[in-house]
A = this chain, B = another copy of it.
Amino acid sequence: MVTVRDVARESGVSISTVSRALAEPERVAPETRDRVVAVANRLGYRPNRAASGLRAGRTGALGLVVPDLENPYFASVTKGVQARARQTGHAVFVVDAGEDPALETELVTGLRSQTDGLVLCSPRAAEADLDAARDAPVVLVNLRHDGVPSVSSDDAHGVLLAVEHLRALGHRRVAYVGGPDRSWSDARRRAGLDVARERYPDVETVTVGSFRPRVEGGRAAADLVVASGATAVLAYNDLVALGLVARLRERGVDVPRDLSVVGFDDTFVATLASPPLTTVRTDLARLGARAVDRLVAALGTRRGAAADGSHDPATSPDDVLPVELMVRDSTTLAPTRDLPAR
């Protein structure tokens, strides 16, 4: 391993000059700097981040905890986090908690000692967040909690958009297929449903249990949805929507003719299905990027202008990203027989 010492010896300067030449070039004489840089390159010198981090009290690493990497939603958020972190000079430890609250807690604890801060995406653990968030820089994605900075999308509004869309198509009985019990996003969607119910009393809504946020979940829910008598269904996410569509097809229920289906998130699978899903879109890469921005801002504050808190981006109001309804082919006019008599 090449160290500052090697570079120093080889270029005839002291180790501090080497350090400066690389980190603060303007504080070193041009010719010295050029020589040092040249030697460093020739020797293939790479600063040891553990060492510089140890000195600086930072590791240069961030941690990201997600419930399931194979869920395209989290894959996209991870991609966004990762890209933005690279721009801010951080590497990202990515951890898959396997939808397991206990494991999640354990992982968060473990990550804290080797990162400068954490992004917890859709955490399933409840109490653990408290502990971790207390004395470590943490940003939550899709969960709001006390004074912990958080970034999320406007799920409730997304539900409202979907209901308005369905109502305009003549649907008067809409089912919602719920996600994981511990999911805050699910709670937000249900809240959106309440708003919709209040605003459009002519639309009945029924909610159907809580299901795994995967294709199987949708398959499991399909029969309940049919039995509910709804003419349209809003799914917890795109995967659930796809499961619904698949199972409905098997039962001979045509989508959208017999039943309109709306997904959530507009992950890439939404357009894979036939018919392509009408779904509520959020910019997931941006969600991840925003989380990193908040986190990095919080890190800066800790070391910088301290607890003023006035224009501190780390404690600024929670970010809520806008949503957009992508209308595709899985929704259409309500079946005539189910239209209310006029």
Binding site for B on A (CB under 8 A): 46-51, 53-54, 59-61, 68-70, 72, 75-76, 78-79, 82-83, 86, 91-96, 98, 107, 109-114, 215, 242, 246, 249, 268-269, 271-274
Contact = CB atoms under 8 A, between A and B. Distances in A.
Nearest to A268: B70
A83 B96 contact: yes
Given A246-B272, A272-B215, A114 B91 contact: yes
Contacts of A112: 46
A110 B268 CA distance: 30
4 closest cross-chain pairs (CB), A and B: A46-B113, A94-B94, A49-B114, A50-B50
A82 B54 contact: no
A178 B113 CA distance: 45
A220 to B, nearest CB: 15
Given A50-B50, A249-B274, A268-B215, A70 B59 contact: no
B113 A94 contact: no
Given A82-B95, A91-B110, A249-B274, 11 more contacts: A46-B113, A51-B54, A61-B93, A69-B75, A69-B82, A70-B79, A91-B111, A93-B93, A215-B268, A272-B272, A273-B273
Nearest to A83: B96
A216 to B, nearest CB: 10
26 contacts: A46-B113, A48-B54, A49-B50, A49-B59, A49-B113, A50-B50, A50-B54, A61-B114, A69-B69, A69-B79, A75-B75, A79-B96, A82-B94, A82-B96, A83-B98, A86-B107, A91-B95, A91-B111, A92-B94, A92-B95, A93-B93, A93-B94, A215-B268, A269-B269, A269-B272, A273-B273
A78 B82 contact: no
Contacts of A46: 109, 112-113
A154 B268 CA distance: 28
Nearest to A70: B75
A93 B92 contact: yes
Contacts of A94: 78, 82, 92-94
A141 to B, nearest CB: 16
A41 B182 CA distance: 28
Contacts of A268: 70, 215
Contacts of A50: 49-51, 53-54, 59, 114
A95 B59 CA distance: 17
Contacts of A76: 69-70
A113 to B, nearest CB: 4
Nearest to A48: B113
Contacts of A110: 91
A102 to B, nearest CB: 14
Nearest to A60: B114
A91 to B, nearest CB: 5
A112 B91 CA distance: 12
A112 B268 CA distance: 32
A59 to B, nearest CB: 6
